[in-house]
A and B are shown apart, each in its own frame.
Chain A
Amino acid sequence: MKLRGAIALALGAAWAFAACAAANPQHGEEVYGRCLACHALGYDRVGPRHCGLFGRRAGSVPGFAYTDAMKKSKLVWEEKTLDRFLANPMKVVPGTAMTYEGVTDAKDRADLIGYLRQASAGPECRK
């Protein structure tokens, strides 16, 4: 059982590493253009800010008016959860205010997540 857990963990880590390694953040920034009606890196808009996203529990930016659905989702934003959510937000969190069909292309999602990861360490998020 322990071995199975270790293998699952290793596979998960390998998946995350592969996703990061393969991501093209430059293209991801272009994909991020789709998010700009509602989101920004450094400040809250119709949607919450993206600086500080990785490792953050969903629905936890102080002062942002989340839906109950998001607050109760128990998601923690990492590559894997973002990939799942961005593919179909309303399926993963029914009742979310992010009424968006999703980023349906897996490569676009990986690049977008790669960009978000890169931007999280960038100047706009270090302010």
Chain B
Amino acid sequence: MSFLSMPTPQAARRLFLGRSGLVLSGAAVALLAGNEALAAKTKGGTGGDVQILNTALGAELEAIAAYQLGAESKLLQKPVLDLAVTFQGHHKEHADVLAKTIAKLGGKPVTAKTKYDFPVDQLKSQNDVLKFAAKLEQGAVSAYLGAVPLFGNRDLAKAAASILGDEAMHWAVLRNALGEAPVPSAFMA
């Protein structure tokens, strides 16, 4: 059965995840499984990897809070609201995996702030919220892009690139929802 012919996106996602276990395992090995060899290698090599992961975790936690703000703003209408909640779910998954990996590597994961500053006074319509989210996602793509080459461990770099791909899709979908060209250029910086 094709992913495109599935009755709901959730069903398609389940099918995709079920079929692509082998593909995902490359990134998952580093992040999800208890990979002692990776932990040992990274501990002995560069503590910089833990710092990179922690910075990414801080940004993911803030993104979760930003989407929460959007979801509770009453400015988002379905199906955009569903989209925001779905994307927030992805960021929660990223944050969860990053925190577990940091802990496995012997680091202390940062935690969510009790309060985030957001430009609430500038969010007056659905489009304002979408633009705000799109900017965060664009920044996330660039941030991961700027972090990938820094990892001492290539498995972690690959895992970060996997998250980068997800953020890029968020950005494209949000741009599309805003009526902008979803993919504005052939390269990202």
Contact = CB atoms under 8 A, between A and B. Distances in A.
A97 B55 contact: yes
B146 interface: yes
A34 B142 contact: yes
A27 B92 CA distance: 33
B162 interface: no
A101 B55 contact: no
B169 interface: no
- Main SS of the interface on chain B? helix
Contacts of A100: 143, 146-147, 150
Interface string B146-158: 1101100000000
Interface extent on B, as a size class?
A: 20 to 34
Contacts of B62: 45-46
B175 to A, nearest CB: 12
- Residue from B54, B56, B143, B145 having most chain A Cβ neighbours under 10 A: B143
A37 B160 CA distance: 15
Interface residues of A, number: 23
Contacts of B140: 37
Interface stretch (B14-22, B27-35, B131-139): B131-139
Contacts of A38: 55, 58-59, 139, 143
A36 B138 contact: yes
Given A33-B135, A34-B146, A99-B52, A46 B117 contact: no
B119 A40 contact: yes
A44 B52 CA distance: 19
Interface of A: 31, 33-40, 42-46, 90, 95, 97-102, 108
